[in-house]
Structure 1
């Protein structure tokens, strides 16, 4: 009966109250007799012809399983939703879709985003970067505008160039476990592209 609008339900009740039999109302409104009977029965039982409230589709995961999904993602930010779906099926013998995983993570504020890609920072690189920052800490904006940083060309030797997403919350872009580290192998000298050829070419002291 849910396919019958409330307007038609009230119209059917009006015809019944006018004294027409169910068969006549069914013929006039092109509805089944059982539908007309249920409309009248619904009015007698609930004093309304509106649909009863429904609980909706039952959740396929428990709150504990939802917490496990979030905990697993916090330990491995780069694990895909499809992989989580497979792991849940193998661990709990329960089939859930990748979309279900995405919805559960979204409820906790986790979204799949393009990760910030940074180099593998060894202790030597961290020391060199600290020294470089200290040497140029007094530079103003005009001086910084004359520098163009470039790290190309490169070869990808430790990962695929395909789309990889990281699950993170807003403001976690530069968080250590949300950064995708990789090694960059360079060829040639540092490059600069400047229309007026006035940009200074600085030696690469960052170890990149």
Structure 2
């Protein structure tokens, strides 16, 4: 099993003493928030996905009425599988836009390689010149990237920018 002999000896001894091999509870620093406060933190971040951990820490008080740290907020959110990630930034889509995109995908799902060769693919990237893009994070669970409240919508025609386009296709 490629395990040290003293490890096996200690596990056998612990099993004999306490009928289990799991670690004993350790002392450690007491929690500075109650479970009710933790649930409220998680609820607030699910309601407002773009709320920063530092802003949330300024609003939450410890048991002795002191502020909690932003790292404490991050740890509490991490235990509920919420991670701070870059939001998907996409165009503003209405229900009609989403429905039309779904219809287009369903109509073209059965195309073969010959039909796709007659299509020209293009992509474009916009580089902001007039303002900074910022470092906004969104608190979300894995798999929620395109969920409506995790998307940061933006207007494509705001501010000075440079647009680069590229096309590719078969001759």
Contact 2:53 2:74 in 1 (8 A): yes
- 2:91 corresponds in structure 1 to 119
- How far is 1:88 from its partner? 1.3
Unaligned runs of 5+ in 1: 1-52, 200-208
- Is the Cα contact below 8 Å between 1:113 and 1:166 reproduced in 2? yes
Indicate the structure whose relative CO is greater, using CA pairs within 8 Å and at least 6 residues apart: 2
- Matched residues in 1 for 2:92 and 2:111: separation? 27
Which structure has the highest helix share of the two? 1
Secondary structure of 1:173's aligned partner:
coil
Change (3 A) 1:188 1:139: farther
Which residue does 1:150 correspond to in 2?
Answer: 123
Note if 1:76 corresponds to 2:73: no
TM-score, normalization by structure 2: 0.66
Q: Deviation per CA, 1:87-113: give whole Å up to 9, x if none.
A: 214xx9431000000000111111111
Kept in 2, the 8 Å contact 1:155–1:185? The answer is no
Please say which structure displays the higher CA radius of gyration: 1
Q: How does 1:1-208 map to 2 (within 5 A)?
A: 55-89=27-61, 93-140=65-112, 143-144=115-116, 147-153=120-126, 160-185=132-157, 191-194=165-168, 198=170
TM-score (norm: length of structure 1): 0.55
Q: Show CA shifts across 1:121-180 (max 9, x none).
A: 1244335424533543333356557543424346589x9511211111122122221122
CA contact (8 A) 2:120 2:167 kept: no
Query: Superposition RMSD on alpha carbons, in Å?
Result: 3.5
Q: Is the 8 A contact 2:49 2:149 kept in 1?
A: yes
CA distance in 2, matches of 1:154, 1:128: 28
- Number of residues of Structure 1 aligned to a counterpart in Structure 2: 143
Alignment CA distance shift 1:87-1:143 (3 Å): farther
- The SS at the match of 1:161 is coil
Q: Could you tell which deviates more after superposition, 117-126 or 105-114? A: 117-126
